[in-house]
Structure 1
């Protein structure tokens, strides 16, 4: 137990050390030249020219509105208000200036050269963990219309989310906990939190894909063996699902899964196991559609994948050849595939899966696809009428 506590503490510290507000300071500079009958006028004109180069300020309108000429009977003098008006005209976009040189020509006119500086300090919250930029974002929604099935839908949603997270291919976004986020935002804005905590706001990711699924059929049966007299429970669940591209609202993928799962009994834990199997098939289908499974490494006749797969699943692997385009739309429809072999998943870890080669010769970069009608009973058929009821404790009686 002590070792476990130390490991959790180490993980917490490593994550917290990466969560911080990063301060960045940058300085812009611009050089300008100006002339005038007085030294101050020449300097101010040089400042205005430099500012114009930096920010596009209209210097002509500034000159006309802030220069007055008057005479004392002997000499003409220019009274200017540039210094106090520059900050207003440029909206504080310059901090300071440096006079490089001021010279007076033979006619008595002053020529000045100046450099202006603008220093900007920005702060940004650095999100802990790996950057989200390398992964696509997806949001999972249960759109089951039948309120009697929503309890199962919520459990299935959670398991699909877990599977997508374990694949390490997506940023899986949450849209079901809005109230908790609002409480945290209120705390940050309340004045009780440190001032830099405000930078944690306005960092929410928008989704790339929306996964909608709906439980359209649910049926349970009991079968008794004539030989052994043992009774076996079986449930069939029909799930419709589609993947939408948020930016364009295009349907990028759509399918219907009808899957039969054997149950040992009708307890909640058994139903949980069944839902895990169903979620695995749905999430696996989505992953294969968006991120076709590729061989990451081959070591000692063992194939390695960089994600968690189901032990015992069988895949066919293919090498990719010439790219094929549609004759009408000119869009790429895929590449010519040549089968290189078959594999069977033998062991898994939280981030890797290993498989033995059962046929052929598989190499790094080959695309592998699960057999559509493997031993798991994964198929695509017409759903049946529902045959279940919700029990008082929140459990589901699947009709047996």
Structure 2
């Protein structure tokens, strides 16, 4: 029994190791054959090696290339082999581990020699922990706010948008704001004070596919004090411009302007952060619905499952996808015919999955869903402080 438990623990430990970073070593060997004729054995070998190299490198050497040196002329077998290998490395600027003579025949007018040369290459590559980034598009979120006064608070919105995109699990969200910290760690790796394999962590930085520019055009805030509770509430109207640019071509793929009213309540840190989360949720939802419309991943036990975190209470209309429609002039696909299949409401969520109940119709796996509004997330409803007092002995004063 103890052995079984130990085996399970070791298996779990081995599985967990795959989640961590490591350096993978790969060794490959290329081979090429050559044939040569000569009046002497050395001349035939010389031409056979030249022929093999020309086959491996596409004819960069002629068969009359001479590799003979003093050590060859000495006739010592060990020196002869070393001389040829050194000469091959010099002529090809490559690393050859060895060569082998396949056959050597004496003919009526000299020698015929056949050889095979071996080029062994060892490469090391850093494997980042976690899932591969290859299946996701990369994006950078920049704060493009121009107004110096507004820029004092705009980084809060930038960070909130970054968080939302990360939670969507649809993008590789790249960092460009903490260069100093990155350079400091890079300097440590290059200092020689770390293990030699640590250097393979360098030169793995991802370049972006998209650039998201978020610019707070303005914010107009107003504070009011309740006559009943004495609490001060801050409400603001915020205007935010945002655009998604394809880095490779500088094409603007998506652009919009958000104008919304937000209740920052008492203006405390938590209330301010919650207010900006409402704004960022609207922006992130808009971008995700444009690039990655919400799609039903599965349906189990009458629950609709999505592979991203969605706020409980959010409601969506779902559509079955039909034929692709193309623009009659550009011939580019502009979208697919959508036929409503039903409506859903998010009932619970985890850091990676969300679950919804079907409120109307009959949705199926693969349907796309678009926001209806009315939920607690994505900024569809704006929070409001209660403006009432509980009176002694019971009863409520509503304040109006």
Tell me the TM-score normalised to structure 2 length. 0.82
The 1:273/1:66 distance shift into structure 2, 3 A limit, reads closer
Task: For structure 2, list consecutive stretches of 5 or more residues without a partner in the other structure.
Answer: 1-11, 70-82, 381-400
Residues 12-64 of structure 1 show CA distances to partners (whole Å, capped at 9, x for unaligned) of: x947862111111111111111000001111111111011101135333x726
| Distance change >3 Å, CA 327–CA 52, structure 1 → 2 | same
Does structure 2 conserve the Cα–Cα contact (< 8 Å) formed by 1:260 and 1:378? no
Whole-Å Cα distance in 2 between the matches of residues 218 and 264 of structure 1? Answer: 15
Question: Where does residue 355 of structure 2 map in the other structure?
Answer: 354
Residue 134 of structure 1 aligns to a residue in which SS? coil
Q: Deviation of residue 219 (structure 1)?
A: 1.8
Match of 2:41 in 1: 39
- Counterpart in 2 of 1:19? 21
CA deviation profile, 1:138-167 (whole Å, cap 9, x unmatched): 000000001111122111111111111111
TM-aligned CA deviation for residue 229 of structure 1: 10
Q: Aligned equivalents of 2:280 and 2:300: distance in 1?
A: 30
Equivalent residue of 1:191, what SS? coil
In 2, the alpha carbon distance for the partners of 1:22 and 1:229 equals: 64
- Find the aligned partners of 1:354 and 1:44 in 2 and give their Cα distance: 73
**In structure 1, which of residues 80, 90, 99 is the aligned counterpart of residue 92 of structure 2?**
90
Tell me, yes or no, if the aligned pair for 1:259 and 1:378 is still in contact at 8 Å: no
Where do residues 99-138 of structure 1 align in structure 2 (5 Å cutoff)? 99-106=101-108, 108-138=109-139
Q: CA deviation at 1:168?
A: 0.8
Q: Are residue 50 (structure 1) and residue 52 (structure 2) matched?
A: yes
1:209-228 matches, within 5 Å, as: 209-222=210-223
Q: Deviations over 1:204-259 (max 9, x none)?
A: 00000000010112122356899999976422211110000001100000011112
Output the CA distance in 2 between the equivalents of 1:103 and 1:148: 88
SS of the residue 1:100 aligns to: strand
Task: Note the alpha carbon deviations across 1:293-347, whole angstroms, 9 max, x for none.
Answer: 0011222332211101122222111111011000000000001110111122222
What is the aligned residue count?
355
In structure 1, the gaps of 5 or more residues are 1-9, 69-81, 380-400
Which secondary structure state, in structure 1, belongs to the residue aligned with residue 145 of structure 2?
coil
| Structure 1 residue 132, shift from structure 2 partner | 0.5
Is contact 1:99–1:114 with CA below 8 Å preserved after alignment? yes
CA gap of 1:312–1:109, structure 2 versus 1, over 3 A, is: same
Q: In structure 2, do the counterparts of structure 1 residues 165 and 202 end up closer, same or farther at CA, with 3 Å as the change threshold?
A: same
> Are the aligned partners of 1:342 and 1:357 in contact in 2 as well (CA < 8 Å)?
yes
- 1:180-259 matched pairs, under 5 angstroms: 180-222=181-223, 233-259=234-260
RMSD: 2.9
CA distance in 1, matches of 2:344, 2:244: 28
Distance 2:184 2:346 in 1: 45
Query: Secondary structure at 1:280's aligned position in 2?
Result: helix
Give the deviation of 1:272 after TM superposition.
Answer: 0.9
Q: Deviations over 1:124-149 (max 9, x none)?
A: 11111110001110000000001111
Q: 1:257·1:378 contact (CA, 8 Å) conserved in 2? A: no
Is the 1:260–1:377 Cα contact (8 Å) retained in structure 2?
A: no
Aligned CA distance change for structure 1 residues 227 and 337 (closer, same or farther; 3 Å): farther
Deviations 1:40-91 (A, max 9, x none): 111111111011101135333x7267789xxxxxxxxxxxxx8364332122
SS at match of 2:312: coil
Normalising by structure 1, we get a TM-score of 0.82
Q: 1:20 to 1:378 in 2, by over 3 A?
A: closer
Contact 2:281 2:379 (8 Å CA) reproduced: no
Give the Cα separation in 2 of the matches to 1:215 and 1:120: 53
Worse overlay, 225-234 or 205-214: 225-234
Rounded Cα–Cα distance in structure 2 between residues aligned with 1:16 and 1:216: 46
Bigger relative contact order, structure 1 or 2, given CA contacts below 8 A and separation 6+? 1
Q: Which moved more, 1:351-360 or 1:240-249?
A: 351-360
Partner of 1:332: 333
